Amino acid sequence: MKTDLSTYNNDWYRPGGSLKRLSWYFINVLFFENPLNPSSGLKVFFLKCFGAQVGKGVVIKPGVNIKYPWKLSIGDFSWIGEKVWIDNLADVNIGSHVCISQGAMLLCGNHNYKKSTFDLIIGGITVKNGAWIGAKSVVCPGVVLKNHSVLSVNSVATKDLEAFRIYQGNPAVLVRNRITE
């Protein structure tokens, strides 16, 4: 089988109206991806304007890229680090007291390499309370990081991470328990 991208068609995928997506594109470039805007408050304001559910005390660092805020919820006192990419083609639910470190990627989409048409596949991501996604790590579609789980630096989560456990590697595997005080 050979991939034939001339037959690719994702017309079934409707993430929002054209004007809404275009408006968000410019807000995202000017206020989120732009490293010159350090204001979390302004970013939270814009996220809410575009339909995101955002709790109190959320910190969003410069250089963050969010695909569709209307498919995003963030709980209280969570941190989104520099240059995080939330490619939320599906819903991304981030709990409270979550840390997503710099350069991490939350990827809700992929393509079906088994089909010549390279069909789009999407799956939501859930990051439960107290979880930590290490710098430069990747969370794949459909993954759940359970309460207080840790995905170590530069690791790839391809399946769910259990609560109070630390995972490392590509693909990420359990390395030890997380003990908190």
Q: What is the pLDDT along the chain (181 residues), one digit of tens a residue?
A: 788 999 999 999 999 999 999 999 999 999 999 989 889 999 999 999 999 999 999 999 999 999 999 999 999 999 999 999 999 999 999 999 999 999 999 999 999 999 999 999 999 999 999 999 999 999 999 999 999 999 999 999 999 999 999 999 999 999 999 987 7
Q: How far is CA 132 from CA 16, 165, 175, in A?
A: 30, 11, 15
CATH topology of domain 17-171: UDP N-Acetylglucosamine Acyltransferase; domain 1 (2.160.10)
**Spatial CB neighbours of 99, under 8 Å, sequence gap ≥ 6:** 78, 79, 81, 131, 132, 133
pLDDT of res. 1: 72
pLDDT at 97 (0 to 100): 98
Placement of tokens 């490392």 in the chain? 168
Going from the C-alpha of 93 to that of each of 7, 54, 75, 126, the distances in angstroms are 33, 10, 8, 5
The three-class DSSP label of residue 47 is: helix
Sheet holding 85-87, edge to edge: 65-66, 85-87, 105-107, 138-139, 156-157
- Token pair belonging to 169: 């590697």
Taking the whole predicted model, whether its pTM rises above 0.85 is answered as: yes
Q: Output the pLDDT for position 31.
A: 95
Q: pLDDT value at position 181?
A: 74
Report the C-alpha gap between 68 and 130 in whole angstroms.
Answer: 23
Q: Where are the domains of the chain?
A: 17-171
User: Cβ–Cβ contacts within 10 Å for residue 38, how many?
Assistant: 11
Burial of 143 (0-12, 13-18, 19+ CB in 10 A): buried
